[in-house]
Homo-oligomer: A and B are copies of this chain.
């Protein structure tokens, strides 16, 4: 499939973020084939898109999600974390069937694609149905099989190996399967060690929660004498690629470990505020050369999966909390929310609008009163733009949405199916 986008402005990342005005972009199969002021003579496009008044940018990578939780949207808002978990979330999760997981995931994916997300890093139980939904939707996915307990039992190992064999690497590597031991406080030391061995056996990434709350930090110090980050480091986790959600409660040594070991830090500002977990020191991780990405967390602690909102909140809260309006600049936030996601997938030529790069990209409709006048495109995207400004979404060279209309998900059918299972 060859797609030609005419007369579109594009964002490119170098030291500074650059804008090129009114160019032609050709996509062939899963890659950006050319970017040029003129159309390539021998490029016979199968499909053309008019880029007038549109801005092309890399799609968002939502770096920490629990896809099926759209079915728990706005359940138990404004309650304490323990009340929320034990009285609202866990009882409902216990009754979730494969149908809930599949359709809940698809609903979240519909919302994600509508707001310009092209890649996700998920973790949930019954992950095979999450994988199926992600595969069907056309999104790029790193999908973690969520596990926890005292002993990593054989049936858990079997489930993980089965899902990994079935989904890892399919569609030219669009889907990857990770291992997701939930957290240090829900998994025993032995469980974590066995999970690590399994990850090594399968050559899989690890996705887990690290240092989300003060309670977790204090528990770690009391039980193991070290911080959560140090605990995972001592277990040997950071020899593999680890995607660490939250990273809120960190000491200076933790920040150095995260940065030195290239742990991928998954910042979830809305969730950290809503559940009153705290403010992650992402400006310190970023300054020390660490990898910061941005995620929404599950829908139930957010309660949407809109990466424009997450960028917006990331750009604001650290300025206010640290009383420094020059912290966390717009171009850094934009890279965290888009380009830095490439580390999750281990794909170098991804997260930018350049020849030879993966065609995971979105078109923004810039002809909106709230984006007008446009003196500073990057600041405009981070501080002013909305998820609803996304016009077109392309992943792996395939169009998932055009002019706001989803191409891979039938919304009416989806509402119908969800109404059946939640009634």
Contact = CB atoms under 8 A, between A and B. Distances in A.
A78 B330 contact: yes
A278 interface: yes
A244 interface: no
A361 interface: no
B383 A386 contact: no
A384 B317 contact: no
Given A313-B313, A386-B387, A78 B326 contact: yes
A110 interface: yes
A170 B73 CA distance: 44
Interface in A81-120: 81, 84, 107, 110-111, 114-115
Given A369-B111, A415-B372, A276 B78 contact: no
Contact of A319 (B70, B274, B326, B383): B274
Contacts of A414: 369
A203 interface: no
Contacts of A77: 329-330, 376, 379, 382-383
Contact of A306 (B115, B386, B415, B419): B386
Interface stretch (A139-147, A258-266, A297-305): A297-305
Interface string A317-355: 101111111111110000000000000000000000000
A99 to B, nearest CB: 14
Interface band, chain A? 35 or more
A47 interface: no
A329 B77 CA distance: 8
A11 interface: no
Contacts of A78: 325-326, 328-330, 379
A202 interface: no
Contacts of A279: 320
A79 interface: yes
Contacts of A380: 73-74, 303
Interface in A396-423: 411, 414-415, 418-419, 422
A79 B273 CA distance: 25
A372 B70 contact: yes
A316 interface: yes
A384 B325 contact: no
Interface in A248-296: 270, 272-279
A325 B386 CA distance: 26
A74 B384 contact: yes
B320 A370 contact: no
Contacts of A214: 323
A386 B386 contact: yes
Given A313-B313, A386-B387, 9 more contacts: A70-B369, A74-B384, A78-B326, A84-B325, A110-B369, A273-B319, A276-B322, A303-B383, A317-B320
23 contacts: A71-B373, A74-B383, A77-B379, A78-B330, A80-B325, A84-B325, A110-B369, A114-B370, A214-B323, A273-B316, A274-B320, A274-B325, A276-B322, A276-B324, A302-B384, A303-B380, A309-B312, A369-B411, A372-B415, A373-B419, A386-B386, A386-B387, A386-B388
